């Protein structure tokens, strides 16, 4: 079974500062993928960044970077130079490399709410 | 523009009534998914389909049913057997359902019980 834990229910961050959102995961699979999504108040889920378990380098996408520590089973999201539009819920998710017949579902954590202060 | 369309945005259900949530995608994706989100919580998988005329139960399928008669459509029916249906429902799709593919999401349907 897979489990994703996000221990920070909510955070404040000053505009233009960086913020780190924690994510730890538990899986017995050796091959898996980790995702971060952003959910603004409008409700849609916006993909931010992906990290494969065998990727040697940490993923980066613009102002988003993923601090992947495989031995510690953590995949923290770093948002640099926070903007007011970054205020939203952020979800960490994982998908294991199972055989296709068993499905490839995405398991989500409980989320972290980020509020950016001007 | 390609994307996923969910309708309606808001839906109200009377006790004992079945209601159907619509999800249509024009991304030509093979895999489609339904997730439920309760307030302040993460998403939980209800059903998913990796190909037309085939679907599998997710973690919380009881009280729900789906069909996948067309590639672009994956409607979700919330039956009267679902005793606590009030939640935000999100439909998603991905190209093939492979592990490194991101999911594309619709804008969601908020279901409430009258």
**End-to-end CA gap in chain B:** 35
Q: Is residue B15 over pLDDT 60?
A: yes
- Token pair 């990796």 in the structure block, residue: B50
Query: Does A109 lie at the interface with B, CB-CB under 8 angstroms?
Result: yes
Chain A neighbors of B107, CB-CB under 8 A: 42-44
Contact residues, chain B to chain A, C-beta under 8 Å: 31, 33, 35, 40-45, 48, 50, 56, 58-59, 88, 90, 92, 97-100, 102-108, 110
CB contact under 8 A, B41 and A110: yes
Chain B neighbors of A24, CB-CB under 8 A: none
Q: Is residue B89 over pLDDT 60?
A: yes
Tell me the mean pLDDT in the region B51-66.
94
pLDDT value at position B102?
A: 87
pLDDT value at position A101?
A: 46
Q: Mean pLDDT for chain B?
A: 92
Q: Is residue B50 over pLDDT 70?
A: yes
Residue B32 confidence class, pLDDT cut points 50, 70, 90: very high
Count of CB contacts below 8 A, A vs B?
71
pLDDT value at position A89?
A: 97
Of A50, A41, A9, nearest to B108 by C-alpha is: A41
Give one DSSP letter per residue of A21-87, joined into a string: E--EEE-S-SSEEEEEEEE-TT---EEEEEEETT-SS--EETTEEEEEETTTTEEEEEE-S--GGG-
Token duo for residue A92: 């960490």
pLDDT value at position A95?
A: 87
Q: Which of B40, B42, B97 sits opposite A104 (nearest CB)?
A: B97
Query: Does A91 lie at the interface with B, CB-CB under 8 angstroms?
Result: yes
Give CA angle at A74 (A7, A15), nearest 5°: 60
Residue B2 confidence class, pLDDT cut points 50, 70, 90: confident
Percent of chain B whose pLDDT exceeds 90: 76
Residue B16 confidence class, pLDDT cut points 50, 70, 90: confident
Return per-residue pLDDT of chain A as tens, 118 residues: 789 999 999 999 999 999 999 999 998 888 889 999 999 999 999 999 999 999 889 999 999 999 999 999 999 999 999 999 999 999 999 987 765 544 567 889 999 999 999 9
């Amino acid at each position: 079974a897979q489990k994703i834990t996000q221990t920070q229910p909510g955070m404040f961050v000053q505009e233009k500062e960086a913020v780190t959102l924690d994510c730890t995961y538990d899986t017995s699979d050796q091959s898996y993928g980790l995702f971060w999504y952003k959910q603004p108040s409008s409700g849609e889920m916006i993909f931010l960044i992906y990290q494969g378990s065998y990727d040697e380098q940490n993923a980066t996408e613009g102002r988003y970077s993923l601090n992947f520590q495989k031995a510690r089973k953590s995949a923290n999201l770093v948002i640099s130079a926070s903007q007011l539009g970054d205020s939203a819920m952020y979800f960490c998710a994982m998908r294991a490399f199972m055989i296709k017949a068993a499905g490839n579902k995405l398991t989500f954590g409980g989320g972290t709410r980020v509020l950016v202060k001007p | 523009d390609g994307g996923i369309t969910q309708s309606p945005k808001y839906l109200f259900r009377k006790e004992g009534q079945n209601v159907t949530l619509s999800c249509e995608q024009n991304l030509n994706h093979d895999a489609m998914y339904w997730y439920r989100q309760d307030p302040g919580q993460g998403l939980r998988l209800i059903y998913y389909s990796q190909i037309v005329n085939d679907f599998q139960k997710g973690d919380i399928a009881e009280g729900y049913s789906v069909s996948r008669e067309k590639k672009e459509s994956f409607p979700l029916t919330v039956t009267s057997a679902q005793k606590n249906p009030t939640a935000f429902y999100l439909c998603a799709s991905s190209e093939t359902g492979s592990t490194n593919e991101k999911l594309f999401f619709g804008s969601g349907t908020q279901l409430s019980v009258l």
